[in-house]
Amino acid sequence: MSFLRTFANSFDPSRLLMLVIQAAVALLCIIIHECAHGFAADRMGDHTARRSGRLSWNPLRHIDPFGLIMMIVAGVGWAKPVPVNPGNFRHPKRGMAITALAGPAANFVLAYAALICMGFIYRSSLSLWSGPVYFLFVTLFQIASLSVGLGVFNLIPIPPLDGSKVLFSFLPDRIYFTILRYERYIMLALFALVFVGVLDAPLRLGINHVLRWLCILAGMPPAALGL
């Protein structure tokens, strides 16, 4: 009973609400990212994602549990890759590169839209510290920061991340398919680097730079967000 009393006394509803907001935002960023991959491939002639049910707003079709946890805890993460068959593209490597770039690009557009809304709230006469407005502002910031984090992380040119698909499009076919053969092992090494925090500093630097640049474009003062 003493444990329950201690828990009740220390329970902070606002913290729970923020965790729920962060989880919901992470799901939104993941869905936008993966659907962008699928739609880009679909428009270029590969309907694999459509047939697999991945052109869906249902988060359960896209979630990688560990990747979602990493997004909530560390601000960067990943989802289940959208299935793509390069053989269905007229130009396979170029098609893969465009499909790969579609995910991060969609995340940056989502972040930009959130920052535009934040700028409007910031410049308005509304008090940022009133309850509903504060949580709206915080939610928009979570959308911007997590979306940029997902986009920047996936642009790292290491398999299986999106950046590797872009890099591979410039490589000779022999090297390209050799690297793909070892993609699973490279992926395990990448997860290890993320787990031990080796990538934390460069990722944070990259995320802050992109956020600052998008803030300027959106009319939201970067200094107001500590950038």
For 38-80, how does the pLDDT look when each residue is reduced to its tens digit (9 = 90+)? 999 999 998 988 888 888 888 888 877 777 777 666 656 667 8
The reported pLDDT for the residue numbered 98 is: 92
More confident residue, 209 or 67: 209
Residue 84 CA to residue 61 CA, distance in Å, equals 15
pLDDT score of 4 more than 70: no
**Beta carbons of 154 and 33 less than 8 angstroms apart:** yes
Tokens of 174: 């022999």
Residue 76: CB partners within 8 Å, gap ≥ 6? Answer: 70, 149, 150, 152, 153, 194, 199, 203, 207
- If you ran DSSP here, which 8-state letter would residue 64 be given? -
Tallying the residues shown for the chain, one arrives at 227
Which residues does the annotation mark as catalytic?
Answer: 34
- Is residue 179 helix, strand or coil? helix
When pLDDT is averaged across residues 86-109 and rounded to a whole number, the result is: 91
- Please give the average per-residue pLDDT across 80-94, as a whole number: 85
The answer to whether the predicted template modeling score (pTM) of the entire model surpasses 0.75 is: yes
| Among 21-25, 88-92, 109-113, 124-128, the least confident range | 124-128
- The span from the CA of 149 to the CA of 143, in Å, is 10
Residue 76 near residue 203 (C-beta atoms within 8 A) = yes
Task: Check: CB of residue 41 under 8 Å from CB of residue 99.
Answer: yes
Q: Is 102 exposed, middle or buried (0-12, 13-18, 19+ CB in 10 A)?
A: buried
Tell me how far apart the alpha carbons of residues 227 and 213 are, in angstroms, rounded to a whole number.
Answer: 10
Q: 131-181: per-residue pLDDT in tens?
A: 777 888 888 999 999 999 989 988 988 877 888 888 877 877 777 667 667
CB-based contacts of 154, cutoff 8 Å, min separation 6: 33, 78, 103, 104, 107, 161, 162, 163
